Amino acid sequence: MSQIKAFLFDLDGVIVDTAIYHYQAWKRLANELGFDISEEFNERLKGVSRTESLDLILAHGGLTLPDEKKAELAAQKNEWYLELVSRMNSDDILPGVATFFSQVRKAGLQTALGSVSKNAPLILERIGMTQAFDAIIDGTKISKGKPDPEVFTKGADELEVNYNECVVFEDAVAGVEAGKQAGMFVVGLGSADVLTQADLVASSLENLTVAEVLARAE
Ligand code: G6P
Ligand code: MG
């Protein structure tokens, strides 16, 4: 038994649906290189860093490129991604997030963002949610992406709570694995068939209450 003190949230696919924009930008890049990536393949890219995603995509297309060229491609993808997200605003916050966060505050829990994205602070600004987090861990603060637990253990460290006092909210297979490796209770948001390692699965935050999560995690 442990007393839960903090909720740690992934960004893409949990708070906001930027996963679709990452997919569109990567698909455009793959197409320019002469091949395609499917939505099914894209599942493997969720929660994975920019450089690791590019490596997976190039391997998928059977291409081996020098580091210099890879850096160029990663920058190109990011440019397209930034174009896509530049029009985002608070209307893009996923259903149920605002209600869930007001319950989180009422319950006296701390919050952290745990995202591998280097663009996470920019996205939070655009949707007006920077102040909703007591700690923000993004791709610039970590050396290892998910499924490594670093992004979540750093969040807990910054909040000064123990790892078993944290609940992670994740939509990606790699993110669920990261939360489990950190020794945390993990709520998977999506399909139970995909997020098999999660301790609890709901289709989104809209279908979940803080009380339900605490009852299961404590
Ligand atoms: C998140 C997304 C990934 C993305 C990664 C890096 O984890 O789920 O799809 O590749 O962030 O994002 P960035 O904005 O730094 O390219
Ligand atoms: Mg995600």
- Give the tens place of pLDDT for each residue, 113-147: 999 999 999 999 999 999 999 999 999 999 999 99
Mutate which of 20, 45, 85, 117 for ligand 1 pocket (most atoms within 8 A of beta carbon): 117
pLDDT at 47 over 90: no
How close is the Cα of 53 to the center of ligand 1, in Å? Answer: 8
Residue 134 is a catalytic residue = no
Average pLDDT in the 155-174 region? Answer: 97
pLDDT at 8 over 60: yes
Of 5, 2, 13, residue with least CA distance to 169: 13
Q: Report how far Cα 6 is from the mean position of its chain's Cα atoms.
A: 17
Residue 148 is a catalytic residue = no
Average pLDDT in the 96-112 region? Answer: 98
* pTM of structure: 0.93
Neighbour count for residue 131 (Cβ, 10 Å): 7
Q: Cα(first)–Cα(last) distance of the chain, in Å? A: 6
Which pLDDT value is given to residue 2? 63
